[in-house]
A and B are shown apart, each in its own frame.
Chain A
Amino acid sequence: MTDRTGREVFLRGVWEENPVLVQILGLCPTLAVTNSVENAIAMALATAFVIVGSSALVSLVKDYIPSQVRMSAYILIIATFVTVVDLIMGAVAPAMSKALGAFVPLIVVNCMILGRAEAFASKNRLLPSILDAVGTAAGFSIALLLMGGVRELLGSGTFLGLQVMPHNWEPWVIMILPPGGFLTLGAILMGMSWWWQRGEKKDEAVKPRRWPHGVRAPEERRPEMVA
């Protein structure tokens, strides 16, 4: 951990351990609010604020929180940031707040955020924790924008509300409905699998995927931790 540069910590969240595309975390907002690019941007910004704020705070107070209550403490910190975001959004961007509706309060249960608090911020100093959070937030944003871009383009024929497709394009309404979310995510994950496996020969043994940083593979976990 010590030899990791800030750049590596940041880039890991963006690509190598992208929260949505690799770790498959935070799928609820990924599927629910990506029916337009605008919603995706708003959700990405709100989540970024929460994850950076909570990771920074967890990293600062980690020495004072007994490990027995750390989860409750982290959730409390995350929930506070989410409530703050919800209120600020209602005050400065009412249209956005209306569009995202219940999904802003639901950022609390985005396991990606608790995941970063537990796997990284609770073990690292402030700066690396912030970098890690910013990287993860960037990775999350990329995934949301990919989803939102594809779904809005096919489902409404627009990008950020601007008509892109020719006018005789019949929008695929299903793409902005929930099934469209699953279809798009499936297609993107398929593309990701192809990307990771490109160049590997067919007869080569399948390499086990690396576990995300801070998570031990099952065989490395000490028995007392499993119990």
Chain B
Amino acid sequence: MSARGRKGPPGAIGSQPSSLLLVGTLGVLSVVAGIAIVLVHGWAQPRIEAHQAAELRQAIEEVLGEPQRYETRWVVDGKLLDSLPAGVDSSAARPVYAGFAADGHMVGYAVPGQKPGYQDVVKLIFGYDPSTRKVLGMKVLESKETPGLGAKITSDSAFIHGFDGALAPIDGVKHPAQDPHQVDMITGATISSTTVITIINRSLEAVGPALGGAHGGEGP
């Protein structure tokens, strides 16, 4: 297994190979690496996107209580539109997902939102029924909060289900929540809990009026 019996690598210690050889070697390697990555990317990307779509679909179903079907709507400049108008940058529009029950009546909207939390951006989606101003459910899609503390916003079922039926705007309180606007926060995870509540309130400030229903003024 020693070096004997084969020629040493070009440019072994002592000799000085031309720069062209050095640049060429790295160039060829880079091209091969690039091609390999492109091929794998071409295979993997559709699958990654399919996973993300499936995850979103599952989250929408969860926060709207298993609607029969849902449609994507867009809120642009405070107006609810059925499709994204041409020429509007998708970053200026917010998607909401209208869920419908089997008999055709609308259950509510699933609204995605995000905001920086304790460590990184927290992304979540929540169900909202504009006719009653009630939050139907909340699910955190992405977070990197502290394991064991802030990460409970994704796993603590008492906290998560505290949002079911809560009236907007929501106020986070120390246990026990007393009126329908209040939800219990997680002990030791104040920032993460507040982040979740703030995301819901801010999202509703932004898209709530466009969704109609009992909206218009401050509070009930």
Contacts and interface: CB of A to CB of B under 8 A. Distances in A.
Interface of A: 1-2, 4, 35, 62-70, 72-73, 76-77, 79-80, 83-84, 87-88, 90-92, 94, 98, 101, 123-125, 128, 155-156, 171, 173, 176-177
Contacts of B146: 177
Contact of A94 (B26, B30, B55): B55
A77 B148 contact: no
Given A76-B29, A173-B148, A66 B21 contact: yes
B7 A87 contact: no
A80 B13 CA distance: 27
A128 B144 CA distance: 41
A87 B147 contact: no
Instruction: Give chain B's interface residue range (CB within 8 Å of chain A).
Output: 35 or more
Interface in B1-17: 1-3, 6-13, 17
Interface of B: 1-3, 6-13, 17, 21-22, 25-26, 29-30, 33, 36-37, 40-41, 43-45, 47-48, 51-52, 55, 142, 144, 146-149
Contacts of A128: 1
Given A94-B52, A176-B147, 13 more contacts: A2-B2, A63-B6, A64-B10, A66-B9, A67-B9, A67-B13, A72-B26, A76-B26, A76-B33, A94-B51, A124-B1, A171-B148, A177-B146
B11 A68 contact: yes
A98 to B, nearest CB: 8
Given A2-B1, A73-B29, A76-B26, A176 B10 contact: no
A155 B148 contact: yes
Contacts of A91: 43-45, 47-48, 51
Nearest to B33: A80
A80 B36 contact: yes
B13 A90 contact: no
DSSP class of A's interface residues: helix, strand, loop or mixed? helix
B147 A177 contact: yes
A135 B164 CA distance: 52
A158 to B, nearest CB: 12
Contacts of B51: 90-91, 94
7 contacts: A66-B17, A66-B21, A67-B13, A80-B37, A90-B48, A94-B51, A123-B2
B30 to A, nearest CB: 6
Contact of B144 (A72, A83, A101, A173): A101
Contact of A67 (B12, B47, B149): B12
Contacts of A171: 148
B40 A66 contact: no
Contacts of A68: 11, 17, 22
Nearest to A174: B148
Contacts of A101: 144
Contacts of A125: 1
A173 B25 CA distance: 50
Contacts of A84: 36-37, 40
B35 to A, nearest CB: 10
B40 A88 contact: yes
A156 B10 CA distance: 54
Contacts of B1: 1-2, 4, 123-125, 128
A155 B148 CA distance: 8
